[in-house]
């Protein structure tokens, strides 16, 4: 395989000793190969996991003069035999034969069946190189030829499951390397491997591959938020501790809010990972080093700084004689991933003392999560058994507010657009304002039923609009309402309106329509709605978030006069949201003398759906699943019934 370049070849020779420029240092390996940049979207469409990610990291290491002090290795193609240690034969065959497909549409068809995957003619080669390079680097570190190393690879790996590519990942690079050391190289004496996954997403693939294997201790810290952050579902929950002989060897630290930073991550290190790693005493550490929890990342919404990464890595250097193999996973802000990578390689090189420190405290929710994890796992790891001191957990900071939210109705579709938007995004660390403006106090006294028929039927998803948080695919956290108290009551009701799905594509859910209710009633129709009893203040905040407006506002979008008008006329179009997709508020009657309000498209827009001017589209799988989940978990329907209901609404003409 191609080497990274002529200059690096020279470096390799030069670096063959322990002494560089007179100072002794650790031998750190780097793998980089431009060939992995060839994996790209087939149609040139923007995507956050794009080729330059690895290039900027490599260039940063060169510019900083750091790569010149490392051992630069060329890439290495994985053996099918090694891939099959963790993947099925079918999966390996599928990825291998991608390159033999002559036409993009053949690959597009495969990619479409998978979650968050694109493929082109070079995807197969890149996937083989990514996995093989991590294997090679791990082998050299295990052998002692290198002290540690960083494989700057793509596509990433940790979402890839035994038989499935997903989440931008084709082969599970780190898992292949771990399994290779344990099963193919008994001669190297690696009996216990610690895999640390600090990518902002849960390492679902890695977790599953070593679920019952006590030789691999898996740590993953990730955003989880009721199971709604990618990867969807319960896999990332802290209750997932492994099974059989592997019970206790799987440790998830699932954040239940975004915006976690150095203080939160280091708290997880100090109070969970470090004590457990000390007990486990690994022979080598493999690090799923995604940098999408970095400050500025468009997908992660967290705030880890290069200092934070270096401090976390430094704490890991205490174990396994510092034998650490880092493999790149996610990370989508070029500046952040380059700087974070540099900080990490400097730690591996033991360049200098780590400067700076974290000045803030962890969130209250961070302490809650850490305590829950410790409690769940202390039976396996005695060092987690003690209660954290009250003094410690009392050191906490308030949850900040992001002033922009988004929703199903978000019209920004392409990834670059999102990146642009992100750079304009104003994140302010101001505290929740307890001195509310007067309109809030007034509207807080009035209750309404918010009637949901789309993804908000799934309670955890709706709660994001109240309590803040993020659901799958959402590029930014919901801020929640200023009033974070949960709904006072939840009931289900049926109305004589038509559920339908329209629009072609959303940023969050990809291709497919989102749910609308026809604002006009029709006795032949039946729509199922989940009604949340909330205050009119909260309803305003939901309405604003649903239409991608900031909740930080001096004026209500929907005030008492508007409520009166809606009750009298059946529907109003609040000025501030009139151009948005959910531009009208419809009153569906009363329940216990409290008005039932829903938000949907305006009548004139529904006419355009009817005439075909706007497209009707069945929902994307994941989106439909959220609705089905809402209907099932809400006790409205069995899964089959829910599917049939959604299926019918998605296929019948308006």
Per rule CB under 5 A, is residue 164 in the interface with Zn ion?
A: no
Contact call for residue 167 and ligand X5A (CB under 6 A): yes
Is the CB of 366 or the CB of 470 nearer to ligand X5A? 470
Structure tokens at 284: 């080598």
Instruction: Report the nearest approach of Zn ion to the CB of residue 345 (Å).
Output: 20
Task: Note whether 408 binds ligand X5A by CB under 6 A.
Answer: no
* 292 contributes a contact to ligand X5A by CB under 6 A: yes
Q: Which of 87, 201, 459, 461 binds ligand X5A (CB under 6 A)?
A: 201
Question: Judged by CB, which is closer to ligand X5A: 166, or 274?
Answer: 166
* Nearest alpha carbon to residue 184 among 287, 325, 92, 82: 82
By CB under 5 A, what part of segment 330-389 binds Zn ion? 330
- CB contact at 8 A, 493 and 451: yes
199 counts as binding Zn ion under rule CB under 5 A: yes
Nearer to ligand X5A (CB atom), residue 153 or residue 649? 153
Catalytic, out of 39, 91, 159, 224? 159
Distances (CA, A) of 408 to 465, 547, 591, 602: 12, 8, 27, 16
Task: Give me the phi and psi of 553, to 5 degrees please.
Answer: -145, 150
Q: Is 230 in the site for ligand X5A (CB under 6 A)?
A: yes
What's the closest the beta carbon of residue 222 comes to Zn ion, in angstroms?
Answer: 8
Closest CA to 575 of 549, 608, 609: 549
Identify the three-state secondary structure at position 284.
strand
Shortest distance, CB of residue 258 to ligand X5A, whole angstroms?
14
Cβ atoms within 10 Å of 409's Cβ, excluding its own = 22
Instruction: Write the CB contacts of 10 (distance below 8 Å, at least 6 apart in sequence).
Output: none
CA neighbours closer than 13 Å in the CB half-sphere of residue 182: 24
Q: Where are the alpha helices (DSSP H) in 187-270?
A: 204-209, 262-268
Interface with ligand X5A, residue 118, by CB under 6 A: no
Task: Kindly tell me which of 120 and 518 has the beta carbon lying closer to ligand X5A.
Answer: 120
Closer residue to ligand X5A (CB): 154 or 396: 154
DSSP letters spanning 512-568: SBEEEE-SS--TT--EEEEEEEEEHHHHHHHHHHHTT--S--SS-SS-HHHHHHHHH
The strand pair at 527-535 and 490-495 is best described as antiparallel
410 binds ligand X5A (CB under 6 A): no
Which token pair is 36?
A: 């992995």
Contact partner at residue 168 from ligand X5A, Zn ion, none, CB < 5 to 8 Å by partner kind? ligand X5A
Catalytic residue flag (residue 87): no
| Euclidean distance between the first and the last CA atom of the chain, given in angstroms as a whole number | 57
Instruction: Find which of Zn ion, ligand X5A, none residue 275 binds, CB within 5 to 8 Å per kind.
Output: none
**Minimal distance, residue 333 CB to Zn ion, in Å:** 12
* Cβ nearer to ligand X5A, comparing 33 with 199: 199
Q: Whole-number minimum distance, CB 231 to ligand X5A, in Å? A: 7
| Position among 232, 290, 296, 308 found at the interface with Zn ion (CB under 5 A) | 290
Residue 280, CA distances (Å) to 86, 218, 221, 382, 406 in order: 23, 11, 18, 11, 43
Site for ligand X5A in 307-336 (CB under 6 A): 329-330
Residue 167 binding partner per list Zn ion, ligand X5A, none, with a CB distance cut-off of 5 to 8 Å that depends on partner kind: ligand X5A
* Positions in the binding site for ligand X5A (CB under 6 A): 116, 156, 159, 167-169, 199, 201, 230, 290, 292, 329-330, 473
* Enzyme catalytic residues: 159
């Amino acid at each position: 395989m191609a080497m990274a370049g002529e200059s690096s070849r020279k470096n390799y020779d030069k670096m063959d000793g322990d002494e560089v420029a007179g100072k002794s240092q650790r031998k750190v390996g780097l793998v980089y190969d431009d060939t992995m940049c060839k994996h790209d979207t087939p149609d040139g469409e923007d995507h956050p996991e794009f080729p330059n990610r690895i290039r900027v990291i490599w260039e940063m290491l060169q510019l900083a003069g750091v790569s010149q002090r490392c051992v630069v290795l060329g890439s290495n193609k994985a053996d099918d035999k090694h891939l099959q240690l963790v993947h099925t034969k079918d999966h390996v065959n599928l990825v291998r034969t991608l390159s033999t497909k002559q036409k993009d549409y053949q690959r597009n068809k495969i990619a479409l069946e998978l979650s968050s995957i694109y493929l082109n003619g070079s995807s197969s080669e890149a996937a083989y190189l990514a996995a093989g390079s991590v294997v090679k680097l791990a082998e050299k570190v295990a052998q002692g030829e290198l002290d540690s190393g960083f494989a700057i690879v793509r596509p990433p790996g940790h979402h890839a499951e035994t038989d499935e590519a997903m989440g931008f990942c084709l082969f599970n690079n780190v898992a292949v390397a771990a399994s290779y050391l344990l099963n193919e190289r008994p001669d190297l004496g690696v009996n216990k491997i610690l895999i640390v996954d600090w990518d902002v997403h849960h390492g679902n693939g890695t977790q599953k591959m070593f679920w019952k294997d006590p030789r691999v201790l898996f740590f993953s810290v990730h955003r989880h938020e009721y199971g709604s952050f990618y990867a969807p579902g319960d896999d990332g929950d802290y209750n997932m501790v492994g099974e059989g002989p592997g019970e206790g060897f799987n440790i998830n630290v699932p954040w239940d809010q975004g915006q976690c930073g150095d203080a939160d991550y280091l708290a997880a290190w100090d109070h969970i990972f470090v004590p457990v790693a000390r007990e486990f005493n690994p022979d080598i550490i493999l690090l799923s080093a995604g940098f999408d929890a970095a400050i500025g990342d468009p997908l992660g919404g967290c705030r880890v700084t290069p200092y934070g990464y270096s401090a976390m890595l430094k704490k890991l250097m205490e174990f396994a004689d510092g034998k650490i193999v880092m493999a790149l996973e996610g990370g989508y802000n070029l500046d952040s991933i380059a700087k974070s990578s540099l900080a990490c390689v400097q730690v591996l090189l033991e360049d200098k003392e780590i400067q700076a420190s974290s000045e803030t405290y962890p969130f209250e929710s961070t302490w809650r999560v850490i305590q829950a994890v410790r409690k769940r796992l202390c039976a396996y790891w005695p060092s987690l058994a003690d209660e954290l001191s009250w003094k410690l957990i009392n050191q906490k900071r308030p949850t900040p507010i992001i002033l922009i939210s988004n929703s199903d109705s978000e019209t920004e579709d392409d990834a670059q657009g999102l990146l642009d938007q992100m750079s304009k995004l104003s994140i302010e660390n101001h505290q929740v304002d307890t001195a509310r403006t007067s309109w809030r106090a007034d509207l807080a006294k009035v209750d309404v039923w918010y009637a949901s028929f789309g993804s908000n039927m799934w309670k955890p998803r709706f709660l994001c609009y109240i309590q803040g948080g993020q659901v799958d695919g959402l590029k930014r956290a919901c801020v929640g309402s200023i009033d974070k108290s949960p709904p006072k009551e939840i009931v289900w009701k049926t109305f004589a309106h038509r559920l339908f799905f329209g629009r072609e594509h959303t940023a969050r859910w990809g291709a497919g329509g989102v749910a609308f209710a026809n604002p006009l009633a029709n006795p032949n129709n039946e729509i199922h709605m989940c009604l949340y009893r909330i205050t009119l203040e909260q309803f305003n905040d939901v309405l604003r978030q649903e239409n991608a407006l900031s909740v930080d506002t001096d004026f209500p979008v929907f005030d008492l006069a508007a409520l009166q008008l809606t009750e009298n006329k059946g529907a109003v179009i609040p000025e501030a949201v009139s151009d948005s997709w959910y531009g009208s508020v419809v009153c569906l009657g009363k329940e216990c003398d409290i008005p039932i309000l829903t938000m949907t498209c305006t009548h004139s827009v529904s006419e355009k759906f009817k005439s075909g001017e706007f497209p009707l589209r069945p929902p994307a799988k994941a989106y439909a699943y959220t609705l089905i989940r809402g209907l099932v978990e809400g006790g409205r329907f069995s899964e089959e019934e829910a599917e049939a209901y959604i299926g019918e609404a998605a296929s019948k003409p308006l």
